[in-house]
Structure 1
Amino acid sequence: MTTYAVGDIQGCYDPLRHLLDELKFDPDHDVLWVAGDMVNRGPKSLATLRYLKSLGNSCIAVLGNHDLHLLAVACGIRKQKGKDTLTEVLEAPDADELLQWLRFRPMLHHDDQRKITMVHAGIPPVWTIDQAIQQARELEQALRSEDHIKWLKKIFKNTKPQPWDDELKLKQRLRLTAAYFTRMRFCNAYGMLDLESKGSIPKNGYAPWFRFSKSPCYQEQIIFGHWAALDGVSGHDNIHAIDTGCVWGKSLTAINVDGFKRTEVYN
C-alpha cells in the first residue's frame, strides 16, 4: 500500500486523473490524502467531488477555504464570486449528498505512526500539534452538528483577526481556528494573522507561519497546500508545500508520504 498526498485540485479533475494514472494509483490498495480546496475556480468541481467521494476510505481529504466557501454558498450565507465555478455542484441532482460528504471532512489529518500532519493552510506557532488536533476536532464537531449553519455564519463573520487566547469564547475560537487552518499565510509569534498579503512578507514581526522557532513545524512533518506562490518550496525539509498552482495553469503535485518523492503533471 502506498499513500500519496495531493495539493489543491480546485476542480481540475482531468489533471488529477492524469496524475493518479502516472502514480498507478489503485484505490483498492493505495490511499490518497487531499490537502483541501477540492473545488472552485477550475472547470470540473462536480466531477472532482464525485470521484473523491467514490474512493471511500481510500481518500482522506481536509477542508480548505474554497470548500468552506461552497458550504456557505449552499446554505445561503455567502454569494458566489465572479470567478467561482460552483453552480454545477449546487444544481447537481446529488448536491445534498455531496455537500453532506464535504461537511463531514476533517479540518486536519494526523498520522501518529508517521508523525505527519496535513492541513490546508498551516498551523500557527502558538499551538502544539496536540492543540491543533484539539482545535480541529472542536471545529469539526460544530460543522457536523445540526447547528452547522449557525456556526458557518460565525466563521464567516467579517471581523478583524485577533491573536490566539485560550480564554476566547467558542465562536471566536471557531472563527480563528478556521482562519488558521484554511486561510493563513503570514502571522506573528502571537498568532495574529495578516490575511491580506500573499506574496511579499509584511513588516512588524510577521512571517510565514512556519518560520518561527516555536512553530509546530519544528516538531514533525507537515503537509499543506493553499499557497501557490511558494511554487512548492517552503525552505524547510520537514514542511511540504504541495499547492503548485494547477488551477492557474501550472502543475498538480503529489508526494509519496513515505520518503516525500514528488510527482507532478501540468495543466
Structure 2
Amino acid sequence: MTLHAGSPAGAGYDPLVPTTVTAAMRLLLLDVSRGYTQYVSGTVPADRALALSARFHERYDLAGDKVQKSRRRAKGQAVFALHLFPQAGTTDLNWWLLRTEGDHPLLTMERWRNANDVRSAITWWGRYELVREPVPVAHRKKLAGPAGKPIKPVMWTWRFRRQVMDEMRAHIRHCVQHPDDRLRQLVRSLSVAPGWRQIRTQVKQLYFYLDQQQAQYRIPPGQRVQIPSTIRWTTPRTVQRVPLSVLCRRAVQGQESWFPQSEWPTSPKS
C-alpha cells in the first residue's frame, strides 16, 4: 500500500530512523516479539514521510514512553509503534505501523494484518519474512550463556521466503550446468545476507546444495565456485538513529545515499 498523506494537525512529530538495515530489522523483530503483532505497511515518498508520520502520531500517540505504553496495555488498550527505513534504489521509505492487541477508538481506520499468520508475515524487500521458528536445543544453550537464562523453544527470526529459496536453488542448478559469473555473484550475496538464526540455516543449506550440484555434474575442483568457510552472524550492537527530517532533507537535496555509510550491500535478486 502506498499512502500519500497531507499536512496533519500533528505536524512536528519527527521519529528516529536506524542507520543500518540490520538495526531496522532487529527493531521490527523486537517489537513483534513483544506483542506488536498487528500491522499495516506500505511506502511513502520522502517529501511526504513527515506528514505521514505526524498523521499516525495524531491518531495513535506514537511518542509515549515505555512506562506509559505499559500502563495502557495493562488497561486493555492497544499501543502502537512506527518503523521506517529507506527503500533501496529510491527516494521512498518503507513503513510499518505495528500495534498490540487491545482497544482503541480508531482501529477501523487501518486494514490490520496479523504477523503471527505466515500468509501475512512482515516482509523485507520481498526477500525476507519475519516468522516464529523452533530454536534447536544446542542453540538455546548457546544463547543462554554462562548464566543459564532460559530461552524459549520457539522464537521470532528472519528467514528467506520459500519462493526466494526455490528461485535460488533453481538458479544454482542452472548456473552449474551453464557456468558463468552469476553463480559467484549469488554466493557473494549469500555471504553478506543478514545473519539471523534461520537465514544462517538456509544459507548453510544452499551452500550444501551448491556442493551437491557441482559434484553431481562433475565440475573439476579447480573450476568450482568456492564456498565461504564462515556464515555471517548478526550480533547486538548499539543502534544509531537519525531524525526522519534529516533523511528527507538529504533526499530532497539529491544526496547519493540516505546514510553516510552502508553496513552491507543490497542482496541482488537471484
TM-score by length of 1: 0.26
The higher radius of gyration belongs to 2
TM-score by length of 2: 0.26
